[in-house]
Amino acid sequence: MVAIYPVERSWGMDMNLDIPLWSGAGAAASHNAPATDQVPLSPSPRGRPTAAPPSFSRSLRAVTARTTAASANEGVRLGDSQRRMNVMPREVLILVFLITVVAAVPAAAQVTAYTDEALFLADAAALGWCVDLESFESDAAWGGARSPATLPSVTNLGVTWLPNNVNSELTTGSGPARTGLWGFYELPHGDFGSGVGDGWFTQGADTLYAVGGWLVSNTPGARINLVLDGATVVNFSGNNLLGPSHSFFGVIDPAGFAEVEFRETEGSSGDPKYIFGDDFSFGRVSCYSAIFGDGFESGDTSAWSAVVP
C-alpha cells in the first residue's frame, strides 16, 4: 500500500506569557533604612525636648522625599503590572478562541492508494462500506458488448462505464479475463491522433468511496493513473507499471467521489500502449448486488462473488 496524503500538518504551541511580578522589597528597604542624618533631641531645662537643629529638619525632609519617591516608583510598577494582568485574560480568551476555531476545521480527508487487493477490501470493510464486484460476466448488462460487438456505454451495479474519447466504445473479450470468461477494454484503444491515451471512465449513481481493479497490458511500458473527479491524480508513487500479468490498483477516499478515470499515461501515436481490466470493486454505503439470507451475494456472476457485505 502506498499512502497519498495531501500535505499533512502537525503543529504545537508554546505559550509563554511574561507577566512582570511586583515585589515590595524596595518599599520595605525604604521604610526600614536607618536615618543616618537624624540628630537626638536635647533635654531642656524644664525636661522638654528642645527644637531639633536645622540639619535634622533637612535630613528628615530628605528621608521623607526619598521614601515618597520610592513609593511612587513602586506604585507605577504596580500599576503597570496590574494593567498587564488586566490585559492578559483578554489575550488568553482570543488565543483560546483561535485554537477552538482551528480545532473545529475538519482535516483534509486522506486519499490512500493500494496495490494489495486484500488490504484494500479489509480497509473498505473496516470503514463500513459495502463493496460491489464487477467481473463483466452478466450477459444482461454486458451481452451487447462481447467482442467484436461494442457499446457506447454500459450501466451495471450502479456504475456507468464510458470510453475516454468520442471515437471509442466499450467491449469485453476472453483475452484479458482474470476470472470467468470476460475481461474489459475500450475499442479502439484511445485516440492517439488527438493526444488521448487508452483508458475509460466509471461514474457512480451514488457517492463512491473506494474503487479498485485488476489491470493488464500487452504493450511493455504502459502505466496507470487513477483520477478522481478530474482533479485528484493517484499515481501510486510511480509504482504503476503494467505488464502481461494482472496487477491490482485501487484507491480509497473517505471524502467520497463521483467519477474515476483509469488513464494510461505513456502511450503516443508512435508508441501506443493498451490496457485491459477485470474484477473491479466499488465501495459505497449500500450495495447494488443482491445479498441473500445466508450471507452470500450474487454480485454480477452466476457463482458467489467475493464482495464484502
Distance CA 261, CA 228 (A): 7
Residue 223's alpha-carbon distances to 54, 179, 210, in angstroms, are: 106, 22, 20
Range 197-222 average pLDDT: 98
Range 190-207 average pLDDT: 95
Q: What's the maximum distance between 2 C-alpha atoms anywhere in the chain?
A: 143
Q: What is the pLDDT of residues 68-89, one digit of tens each?
A: 555 555 544 545 555 554 545 6
Give residue 108's pLDDT: 57
Q: What is the pLDDT of residues 170-185, one digit of tens each?
A: 999 999 999 999 999 9
Residue among 304, 300, 302 nearest 289 (CA): 300
**Helix, strand, coil share (%) of the chain residues, nearest 5:** 25, 30, 45
Please state whether beta strands 199-216 and 224-228 pair in parallel, antiparallel, or not at all (unpaired): unpaired
Q: Are 276 and 175 in contact (CB under 8 A)?
A: yes
Give residue 30's pLDDT: 40
Q: What is the pLDDT of residues 3-60, one digit of tens each?
A: 544 433 333 333 333 333 333 334 334 444 444 444 344 444 444 444 444 554 455 4
Residue among 237, 228, 231 nearest 3 (CA): 237
104-108, 111-115, 163-167, 197-201: range with lowest mean pLDDT: 104-108
Residue among 227, 223, 251 nearest 238 (CA): 223
Provide the pLDDT confidence category of residue 290 given band limits of 50, 70 and 90.
Answer: low
Per the structure block, which three cell numbers stand in for 203? 461514474
Please determine, for residue 283, whether its predicted confidence score (pLDDT) is greater than 80: yes
Give residue 230's pLDDT: 97
11-20, 59-68, 203-212: range with lowest mean pLDDT: 11-20
Residue among 265, 257, 305, 264 nearest 281 (CA): 305
Q: Are 229 and 211 in contact (CB under 8 A)?
A: no
Conformation bin of residue 241: beta by default, left when phi > 0, alpha when psi is -120 to 50: beta
Q: What is the pLDDT of residues 119-178, one digit of tens each?
A: 999 999 999 999 999 999 999 999 999 999 999 999 999 999 999 999 999 999 999 999
Q: What is the pLDDT of residues 89-104, one digit of tens each?
A: 666 566 656 666 445 5
Conformation bin of residue 28: beta by default, left when phi > 0, alpha when psi is -120 to 50: alpha
Distance CA 74, CA 25 (A): 10
Give residue 289's pLDDT: 85
Give residue 197's pLDDT: 96
Q: Are 293 and 244 in contact (CB under 8 A)?
A: no
3-17, 196-210, 224-238, 285-299: range with lowest mean pLDDT: 3-17
Please state whether beta strands 154-156 and 247-264 pair in parallel, antiparallel, or not at all (unpaired): unpaired
